[in-house]
């Protein structure tokens, strides 16, 4: 089955710096890659996703890149702010459409220091 | 529009007790999911329901059962709780046209 590895497990940056979180997956059939942000005590919320027919997607200060050949994808946050502090999870899925069995990485705890 | 709701928010059980976690969504989504979240392990899929009337096992189904009561509701049952089932449980739902999964607020379960 699918396995998703996420690095680093913790990341500390200064406000205004960039942050990069990387994930690798094992199943070459995976075709959907979402990123979720989870603040302390809250539910995970989708921040960006990418599908296997796209190499890069950007939404304001966040971007995701996908390398299907190497089977890895990354989250990039630019101009970080204290409110970006949270745990970020990547996931991968090869659902046939209609539903997705998401396999999650273990998470990255991002701390942005003022 | 409440989205995905879960009850209870928090529960303490003794080993061997049973309970049912409730989940409901008002977004007319076909698919629903149950995950557990443990420290350092991300979210792991317990069971899912691709559509009303169907349920399937996920990564960690042992010790759990589910019921898709109707299109809105998907419950998770622990028949005989064990300390290893101490976790935070999240329900989620998704629409077949858009793959995004929307999560509920979670149920924090402590089994003593």
For B43, list phi and psi in degrees, rounded to 5: -105, 135
Q: How far is B43 from chain A (nearest CA, A)?
A: 6
**Cα–Cα dist A38/A88, whole Å:** 6
**Cβ–Cβ < 8 Å for B14, B7:** no
Percentages (nearest 5) of helix, strand, coil residues in chain A: 5, 55, 45
| A71 Cβ contact list (under 8 Å, min separation 6) | A24, A25, A26, A28
Res. B32 pLDDT band, cuts 50 70 90 = very high
Task: Check pLDDT > 70 for residue B63.
Answer: yes
A100 to chain B, closest Cα gap in Å: 7
B26 has a pLDDT exceeding 80? yes
Chain B CB contacts of A49 below 8 Å: 99-100
**Mean pLDDT of the B78-82 span:** 96
Q: How confident is the model at residue B41 (pLDDT cuts 50, 70, 90)?
A: confident
Residue A3 structure tokens: 């396995």
B51, B59, B100 member nearest A49 (Cβ):
B100
Q: What tokens appear for A47 in the block?
A: 């921040």
What is the pLDDT, as a whole number, of residue A96?
59
Core vs surface per residue B17-26: b (16+ CB within 10 A) or e: eeeebbbbbe
How far is the first Cα of chain B from the last one, in angstroms, to the nearest whole number? 36
Question: CB-based contact (8 Å) between A43 and chain B?
Answer: yes
Determine, for residues B43 and A89 on separate chains, whether the beta-carbon distance falls below 8 Å.
Answer: yes
Chain A residues closer than 8 Å to B33 by CB: 102
Q: What is the C-alpha separation between A67 and A5, in angstroms, rounded? A: 15
Q: If we measure between CA atoms, which residue out of B24, B68, B36 comes closest to residue B50? A: B68
Q: What pLDDT score was predicted for residue B97?
A: 73
Is B45 close to A103, i.e. CB distance below 8 A?
A: yes
Contact A18, A80 (CB under 8 A): yes
Single out the residue of A98, A107, A113, A112 nearest to residue A35, CA to CA.
Answer: A107
Report the pLDDT value the prediction gives residue A95, as an integer from 0 to 100.
Answer: 65
Distance, in Å, from the CA atom of B110 to the CA atom of A92, rounded to the nearest integer, reads: 29
List strands edge to edge, sheet with A72-77: A4-7, A19-25, A72-77, A62-67, A56-59
In this prediction, residue A97 carries a pLDDT of 56
Per-residue model confidence as pLDDT tens for chain A (114 residues): 789 999 999 999 999 999 999 999 999 989 899 999 999 999 999 999 998 877 899 999 999 999 999 999 999 999 999 999 999 999 998 765 556 788 999 999 999 999
**B6-20: per-residue pLDDT in tens?**
999 999 999 999 999
Q: Quick one: DSSP state of residue B83?
A: G
Cβ–Cβ gap B48/A103 under 8 Å: no
Phi first, then psi: give them for residue A98, nearest 5 degrees. Answer: 100, -35
**Predicted confidence (pLDDT) per residue in B85-96, tens digit:** 999 999 999 987
């Amino acid at each position: 089955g699918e396995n998703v590895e996420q690095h680093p497990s913790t990341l500390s940056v200064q406000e205004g710096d960039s942050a990069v979180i990387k994930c690798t997956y094992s199943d070459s059939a995976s075709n959907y890659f979402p990123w979720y942000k989870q603040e302390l005590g809250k539910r995970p919320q989708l921040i960006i996703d990418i599908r296997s027919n796209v190499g890069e997607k950007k939404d304001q200060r966040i971007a995701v890149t996908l390398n299907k050949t190497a089977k890895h994808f990354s989250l990039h946050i630019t101009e970080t702010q204290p409110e970006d502090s949270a745990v970020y999870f990547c996931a991968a899925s090869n659902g046939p459409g209609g539903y997705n069995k998401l396999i999650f990485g273990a998470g990255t705890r991002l701390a942005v220091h003022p | 529009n409440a989205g995905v709701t879960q009850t209870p928010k928090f529960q303490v059980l003794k080993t061997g007790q049973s309970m049912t976690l409730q989940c409901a969504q008002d977004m007319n989504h076909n698919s629903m999911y149950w995950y557990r979240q443990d420290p350092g392990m991300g979210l792991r899929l317990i069971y899912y329901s691709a559509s009303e009337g169907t349920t399937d096992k996920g990564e960690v189904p042992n010790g759990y059962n589910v019921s898709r009561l109707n299109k809105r509701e998907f419950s998770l049952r622990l028949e005989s709780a064990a300390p290893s089932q101490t976790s935070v449980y999240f329900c989620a739902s998704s629409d077949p046209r858009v793959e995004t999964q929307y999560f509920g607020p979670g149920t924090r379960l402590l089994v003593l």
